[in-house]
Structure 1
Amino acid sequence: MSRGFLRAVGSGTATIMMSVYSQTVLAAETDQFLVWDVELRDSAPALNTYLNQETERFLAEENALHGAEHSAALVTQDLYLYLFRSILDSRLRHFVMTAPDIDRYPPSTISYPEHLEMSIYSAKSFPFILPMARTIRIGDVYLGIDKLSHFFGFGRRYFKRYVRLREEGYPEDVAMEKTVEWGMWYERYLVGNLTDGIYSYADLEANFQGMMMARSFSEGPTPLLVRTGDKWTLARPIDIRDFVNPGFDESYNCSRFMGTRRSQVMHVLESEVCPKRTAPLVQARFERYQKWKPSFSQQFVDRKLGEQGWTPHTDAVFDLWCASGKAEGLPESPRTTP
């Protein structure tokens, strides 16, 4: 066996492992079932203030270095990288995890082992061991902090891919479909199944909405970024609530669980979560959620997975689980988007 062949194999293996690692550092588990009996303060005002301040700071640096030399699309991609590179390198995540104006559950006094034990992931599912992301509220939506990682991390990747496809001549809807399908592949074969045994529909929605906010910086008749002389400036304040919807809430837009993860999670859902399903706070929250229409991505994901034999989402599936007490005999996806 030649050294050249071994080097090629080693290089290929290293590339795959680095790809897996790069996705893993975006990953975390989150459990919005824990906040079915908790009312958090809206963190949108504090988060919006932070995003606008950091964007202004970034633009000042960008303008000093490059003026308005770069395109709005490239500046947007660099802004996303400035805010978030990975779980281990993210000024945005640090802010959300530590700022006193961000209301988190469970609070920081609860350790990782305690948080894990409280959650639907309390049963150990080797080798799936990932950080637990706490829950916050943005507008009326409850979501894991990990969704902001997806929003800016994979949102940037979605946007970069979308821009390239548009430059290659694909129509807008086709470029979006191809981008979402690429994200579905990653969720199925790398990010979700490989790292935690979970295919998260909420992650896919956060990815897509991150791209949509990126598009709002550089597209349309009134983009957020405007060229003023030799500088880029914000035309108006950023409001992340425009892009956060109930699809980010994993207790509403439930994930598909794989292998041993499925049976372990189903047991907890049946014994501890189902009894809370009819609580007034949960009912009121879901009534608000149901006013949102599924996004382009949600509709596309449902259609593509349905074509592959996966159970399309339905409002009734989770309720059927709770009513029957026999999750193993029901469809494999408890997804409950509107």
Structure 2
Amino acid sequence: MYKTMSVLLLFPTSIMAGEVDNYYAWGKTIKSSEAVFNDYLNQHIESSLQQLSNKQQSLTCEQVALVVMKDLGATRYPLKHRGALNTDMELWAQQSELIDRQPDDNTSLDEYAEHSIYSPVMRTAGVKTDLDHVVNVAGVYFGTDKISHFLGSGYEYYARYLKAIQKDSQEFSQAKSIIWATKMEGGLLGIKVVGVYSYADLEANYQGFEMARDLCRLQHIENAGGWYLSRPVDMRKYVNPNWDESFYLSTYSDSRAKKVKQNMQLHEGVCANRQQLWVKQQRQSYLQWESDYPPFDQETLNSSFSTYLLTLAQHYAHQASYENDSSLKAHLKTLSLTMEEFNYFIGEAKVPQQQGFSLQELCS
């Protein structure tokens, strides 16, 4: 009882971390909303920059970028700002008439839950929690919860990165930020409370960090007597198929996995639907997504430094000896990480294996 009450005090029902059922949207048409999302993002970035310019503070570009991310995705908890569990942009996306989504307005959230892989209801620390809607950006279907990961956890990544970069390499500083997030997914924001460890959440986190870094790296914001947005941010640069939990698969606690497997095989028909043309075409388009990193196998998309590192960690974590593995050395060279840094990541991140939660496994 004490543990449950502690969780509820940390996360009141109005700001619960969300979950989504991407399978619910299979075969459903959702209009792409990237233009609307971009308008929202850029207007709010411009507002943050205007406020900073009015204060006439002497700040570096990186400090300004951190303030922008804080304004977009952080909430002030006691003593300090932390990444928000439900950002304003997520709440807006779930209600705005400008955003097409599933379930649509003709379907209640209770009906959605009843026909989801989390049927009959998702609970967080015993409290009923509504599932998040599915939206579309540039052909990628993802839950609105990913917006808060993109902005709120993106803020956390960037703040940690700026601190770590003072003594570590850029790549190891990124890895340290990812470690923080893996502990969140493995703890109160993930598997220990709702029984879900979402790798898609981790990718949205990382892409938020990439956007924060790009604000200065790609000169989106500049200073000429006041900070201004020199060219707009485009969300399509950061959304990718690994935001979709029906593609970049989550792992589950034993009890959650049992219920999900039953729902997928029985009354929700996910396992039967995976052979449909719509699903096959979506998956094929996802696998052809352009990326700077090579795929680990034919069924994966390494859309970022984060997915690449997490895939390697899963593959090598349980091998007794891998330090002389020539393939691993080549992978780490691509990531610009040392073997010592990789060992540290494996020891700290403790990432669960996705392999046992593939569609083939869940539908067997």
Tell me which interval the TM-score lies in, with the shorter structure as reference length. Answer: 0.7 to 0.9
Q: 1:25 aligns with which of 6, 15, 25?
A: 15
Structural mapping, 1:79-228, within 5 Å:
79-85=68-74, 90-124=87-121, 127-128=125-126, 129-167=128-166, 169-219=167-217, 222-228=218-224
Preserved CA contact (<8 Å) 1:151 1:210: yes
2:313 paired residue among 297, 304, 313? 304
What SS class does the counterpart of residue 11 from structure 2 fall into? helix
Percent sequence identity over aligned pairs = 28
What amino acid maps onto 2:141 in structure 1?
A: Y
Counterpart selection for 1:51 from 41, 66, 73: 41
Partner of 2:283: 286
Unaligned runs of 5+ in 2: 76-83, 292-301, 319-350
Residue of structure 1 equivalent to 2:244: 249
What residue identity is the alignment partner of 1:58? S
| Cα deviation code 1:195-219 (max 9, x no counterpart) | 3110000001111111011000122
Determine the structure 2 residue equivalent to 1:331: none
Paired letter, 2:307: Q
**More displaced 10-residue stretch of structure 1: 194-203 or 49-58:** 49-58
Runs (4 or more) in structure 1 with deviation over 6 Å come to none
Q: CA RMSD in A?
A: 2.7
Secondary structure class of the residue paired with 1:83: helix
- TM-score computed with the length of structure 1 as normaliser: 0.82
Structure 2 SS opposite 1:186: helix
Q: Take 1:274 and 1:91, find their aligned partners in 2: how far apart are those partners?
A: 35
Question: Which range is displaced more, 27-36 or 186-195?
Answer: 186-195
The secondary structure found in structure 2 opposite 1:193 is coil
Whether the 8 Å contact between 1:51 and 1:238 is mirrored in structure 2 is: yes
Deviates more, 1:25-34 or 1:247-256: 25-34
Aligned partners of 1:136 and 1:89: how far apart in 2?
A: 16
Conserved in 2, the CA contact under 8 Å of 1:40 and 1:136?
A: yes
Distance 1:195 1:316 in 2: 19
What count of residue pairs does the alignment treat as equivalent?
305
Alignment partners' CA distance in 2, 1:89 and 1:207: 13
The answer to whether the 8 Å contact 1:44/1:241 transfers is yes
Instruction: Flag the structure with higher helix content.
Output: 1
The yes-or-no answer on 1:265 pairing with 2:306 is: no
Consecutive unaligned residues of structure 1, counting only runs of 5 or more, are 1-9, 326-338
Shift of 1:63: 1.1
* Distance of aligned partners of 1:311 and 1:195 in 2 relative to their CA distance in 1, 3 Å threshold: closer
Question: For the residues of structure 1 that align with 2:165 and 2:192, how far apart are their CA atoms?
Answer: 31
Is the aligned partner of 1:275 residue 2:272?
Answer: yes
Deviation at 1:112, TM superposition (A): 2.6
SS of match in other structure, 1:27: coil
Asked whether 1:235 is paired with 2:230, we answer yes
Q: Secondary structure at the match of 1:182?
A: helix
Task: Describe the superposition over 1:63-118 as per-residue Cα deviations: whole angstroms up to 9, x where unpaired.
Answer: 112x3522222222222232233668743123212222210110134333222112
Which residue of the partner structure matches residue 345 of structure 2? none
How far is the alpha carbon of 1:240 from its aligned partner? 0.6
